[in-house]
């Protein structure tokens, strides 16, 4: 595969960064993962906005322009001979002298990865497993999609390698938080529930999109602090992320749920797929888009 690295498209065997990059030395970097559908980078505007907020928090100056990113993505898709691709846009602080720095970073390292996606199985079911490991607290006031991933990795080790399982983090206060690589939703009495960012979750772009869809569909939404019993009492449960889309849950602990047969899971999946080849931002839903 070919990658974009600081202005150049290079083969993966030739890609390199400086050992003095503070993204490597101190974890100062953020990234976004998203998909292209028939060459279209779904919700790219929102992914870039979150990336920029993270860079500002890390004191990394950026010169990211959406049109330029789209041009790079198109060039990579052509070079890699792909249309439907997994994409990861990674920006780190760049090379500096060893030592903690307080002044802004002005020489960031940007890498864009792509890889071929396996055929997507629509509404592939997952089993939810409550983790013993608690979700750690964010390094700043809001969780960044950053290089600090040990909590997620440790959770995945606890869960095991199965792709049919997704771990469910609780916060240290025992509130439902999120999945290892996903956000969690559930439906009870025709109303949608999801944890608040106050629990320390990553505010996923797909999470935000599903909330916007619910608003347009006039489905009542509750965002707050919930104990795990609320999930176990649900009528339907599903996970979301930008690569696997909407993942219905068929079982949590010893309880079974409708999974892919769920009415609301099917509804959200249907609406989701209507937009993947042309929507660049969630805000477009409220700018003349009709459901």
CATH number at residue 257: 3.20.10.10
Please indicate, yes or no, whether residues 112 and 130 belong to a single structural domain of this protein: no
Please indicate, yes or no, whether residues 106 and 230 belong to a single structural domain of this protein: no
pLDDT digits over 20-45, tens only? 999 999 999 999 999 999 999 999 99
Please indicate, yes or no, whether residues 69 and 137 belong to a single structural domain of this protein: no
> Strand order in 2-5's β-sheet?
8-11, 2-5, 109-116, 85-92, 29-37, 40-41
Alpha helices in 96-179 (DSSP H): 150-159
> Has residue 255 been placed in a domain?
yes
Residue 85 Rama label (left phi>0; alpha psi -120 to 50; beta): beta
> Has residue 291 been placed in a domain?
no
Q: Are 91 and 62 in contact (CB under 8 A)?
A: yes
Please indicate, yes or no, whether residues 109 and 204 belong to a single structural domain of this protein: no
How many domains are there within the chain? 2
Please indicate, yes or no, whether residues 93 and 142 belong to a single structural domain of this protein: no
Please indicate, yes or no, whether residues 58 and 149 belong to a single structural domain of this protein: no
Q: Closest Cα partner for 201 from 234, 241, 249?
A: 241
User: With a cut of 70, which residues of the chain have pLDDT below it?
Assistant: 288-291
Please indicate, yes or no, whether residues 97 and 205 belong to a single structural domain of this protein: no
Please indicate, yes or no, whether residues 206 and 84 belong to a single structural domain of this protein: no
> Has residue 66 been placed in a domain?
yes
Please indicate, yes or no, whether residues 172 and 72 belong to a single structural domain of this protein: no
Please indicate, yes or no, whether residues 255 and 138 belong to a single structural domain of this protein: yes
Final residue in a domain of this structure, among 69, 94, 116: 116
Final residue in a domain of this structure, among 59, 90, 116: 116
pTM comes to: 0.96
Please indicate, yes or no, whether residues 149 and 282 belong to a single structural domain of this protein: yes
Q: Closest Cα partner for 190 from 209, 211, 214, 168?
A: 214
> Has residue 121 been placed in a domain?
no
pLDDT digits over 233-276, tens only? 999 999 999 999 999 999 999 999 999 999 999 999 999 999 99
Residue 42 is part of a domain; what is its CATH number? Answer: 3.30.470.10
Final residue in a domain of this structure, among 83, 116, 149: 116
> Has residue 278 been placed in a domain?
yes
Residue 7: helix, strand or coil by DSSP?
Answer: coil
DSSP codes of every residue in 107-123 = S-EEEEEEEEPPPP-TT
Q: Quick one: DSSP state of residue 260? A: G
Please indicate, yes or no, whether residues 144 and 21 belong to a single structural domain of this protein: no
Per the structure, the complete domain to which residue 111 belongs is given by: 2-116
Q: Which residues contact 23 (CB under 8 A, 6 or more apart)?
A: 17, 29, 92, 93, 94, 109, 147
pLDDT at 282 (0 to 100): 97
Q: Are 115 and 85 in contact (CB under 8 A)?
A: yes
């Amino acid at each position: 595969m070919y990658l974009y690295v600081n202005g150049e498209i290079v083969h993966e065997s030739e890609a390199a960064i400086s050992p003095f990059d503070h993204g490597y030395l101190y974890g100062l970097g953020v990234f976004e993962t998203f998909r292209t559908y028939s060459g279209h980078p779904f919700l790219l505007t929102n992914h870039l906005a979150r990336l920029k907020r993270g860079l500002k928090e890390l004191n990394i100056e950026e010169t990211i322009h959406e049109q330029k990113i789209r041009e790079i993505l198109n060039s990579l898709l052509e070079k890699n001979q792909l249309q439907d691709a997994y994409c990861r846009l990674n920006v780190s602080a760049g090379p500096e002298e060893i030592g903690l720095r307080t002044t802004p970073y002005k020489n960031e390292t940007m890498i864009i990865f792509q890889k071929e996606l396996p055929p997507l199985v629509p509404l592939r079911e997952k089993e939810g497993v409550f983790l013993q490991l608690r979700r750690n607290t964010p390094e700043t006031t809001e969780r960044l999609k950053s290089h600090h991933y040990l909590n997620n990795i440790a959770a995945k080790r606890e869960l095991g390698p199965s792709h049919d399982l997704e771990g469910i983090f609780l916060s240290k206060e025992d509130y439902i938080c999120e999945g290892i690589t996903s956000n969690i939703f559930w439906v009870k009495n025709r109303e949608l529930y999801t944890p608040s960012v106050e629990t320390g979750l990553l505010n996923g772009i797909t999470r935000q999109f599903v909330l916007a869809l619910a608003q347009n569909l006039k489905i009542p939404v509750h965002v707050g602090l919930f104990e795990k019993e609320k999930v176990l009492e649900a009528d339907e449960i599903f996970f979301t992320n930008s690569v696997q889309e909407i993942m219905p849950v068929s079982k949590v602990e010893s309880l079974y749920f409708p999974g892919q047969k769920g009415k609301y899971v099917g509804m959200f999946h249907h609406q989701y797929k209507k937009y993947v080849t042309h929507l660049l931002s969630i805000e477009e839903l409220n700018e003349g888009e009709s459901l």
